[in-house]
Structure 1
Amino acid sequence: MSVASEIQRLTELRNQGALTEAEFQEAKAKVLAGQPYGYHQPDGFHQPYGFNVPSASANQMAMILHFSQYLGFIVPMLGFVAPILIWQLKKDEIPELDIHGRIVANWMLSSLLYSLISAVLIVVLIGILGLIIVGLLSLIYPIIGGIKANEGEPWDYPGSIRFF
C-alpha cells in the first residue's frame, strides 16, 4: 500500500470518527516517516498503538476465529472451546488476533448469560422470545464479525458485555 493511499485511509477513519485528531496525526507522522503503524481498535480495548497493519493471513485467521463459533453446531461445546483455543494459542504469534479473541470471548460469555436469564424467564413466557433473539444474534454476529475481520477491522458485537 502506498503512502498516499494509507494517508487517505487514515483520513477516512478520522472522518468516520474511528480515529481522534491526535491519533490521526500520530499515525500520519509514522506513515510519512516510514515507520510501522497501528490500526484503530474499538473503544475499551486499550492496547499499544504500534503493531503493523494486519496481513492477509492475520485477517484470515481472525475470520476463522469468528467462524469457529459455528463448530458448536457440529460437536456440542466445540463452539466455545475452539475460539478460545485459537485465540490463546495464536495471540502472541499474531497480535491483531488478541482483539478479535476478546470480542468473541465477550460475546460468548454475554450470550451464555443472556440465555440463562431467558431460560429463567421462560416461566413468564418472555424467556422464549429472549432465547430466539440470542439464537439469531449468535448466528448473525459471527458472520458480520468474520467479514469485518477479513477486511482488517475489529467489530464489537452489539449488546456484548466487556468481560475482557
Structure 2
Amino acid sequence: MSDELQARPSQEARQWAMFCHYAAFLGLVFPFGNLLGPLIVWQIKRESDPFVDRQGKEALNFQITVSLALLVSLMLCVLVIGFLLLALVSAGALVLTVIAGVKANEGRDYRYPFTWRPLK
C-alpha cells in the first residue's frame, strides 16, 4: 500500500493536470480557446511534475483531434450530415473532457480514445 501512495502525484500536480483538461472549455468563450487553454497551462506547468506533462500533452492532443473532427464536420454540413456530426463530436468532447479532468484529479493517467497523438 505504501508503494501505491508513493506513486500517486501530489495534490498540486493532480490539480494542474485537471486544469490542463478543463482549460479546453475556453473554446466556449473564444475561437481556438480549446487549443490555447490546454497549451498555455501545459507550457507553464509541464516541468513542475511528469504527471502534469503527460496529462497536458494528452489534453492538447485530444483538442487537436477534436478541432480537426469539427473542421471536417463543418465541411460536411454541405451534405447535411455535418450538422449531426458537429453535435456528436461536440457532445463527445464535452463528456470525455469532464471524465479526463475527474481522472486527473484522482491522480490517474487518462488516455482519450480515438485520439491522434502528434505530441509524444
Which TM bucket (shorter chain)? 0.7 to 0.9
Q: CA deviation at 1:72?
A: 2.2
Post-superposition, which runs of at least 4 consecutive aligned residues in structure 1 deviate over 6 A? none
2 CA distance for matches of 1:121 and 1:73?
22
Partner residue of 1:147? 102
Normalising by structure 1, report the TM-score: 0.66
Partner residue of 2:72? 117
How many percent of aligned residue pairs carry the same amino acid?
35
1 CA distance for matches of 2:42 and 2:93?
18
1:30-109 matches, cutoff 5 A? 53-109=8-64
**Contact 2:42 2:53 (8 Å CA) reproduced:** yes
Q: CA deviation at 1:71?
A: 2.0
1 CA distance for matches of 2:2 and 2:68?
45
Q: Provide, for residues 118-146 of structure 1, a one-character-per-residue CA deviation record: whole Å limited to 9, x for no partner.
A: 11111221111111111101211111000
**Greater share of residues in helix:** 2
Q: What RMSD in Å do the two structures reach over aligned CA positions?
A: 1.9
Q: Answer with 1 or 2: which has the greater Rg.
A: 1
2 CA distance for matches of 1:73 and 1:125?
24
Say whether residues 1:127 and 2:82 are aligned partners: yes
The residue identity in structure 1 corresponding to 2:111 is D
The residue identity in structure 2 corresponding to 1:2 is S
Q: Provide, for residues 82-121 of structure 1, a one-character-per-residue CA deviation record: whole Å limited to 9, x for no partner.
A: 2101101111112211111111111111111111111111
2 CA distance for matches of 1:157 and 1:89?
22
Bigger RCO of structures 1 and 2 (CA < 8 A, at least 6 apart)? 2
Say whether residues 1:161 and 2:116 are aligned partners: yes
Query: Which 5+ residue runs of structure 1 have no aligned equivalent?
Result: 10-36, 38-51
Normalising by structure 2, report the TM-score: 0.87
How many aligned residue pairs are there?
A: 119
Q: CA deviation at 1:2?
A: 2.7
Query: Which 5+ residue runs of structure 2 have no aligned equivalent?
Result: none
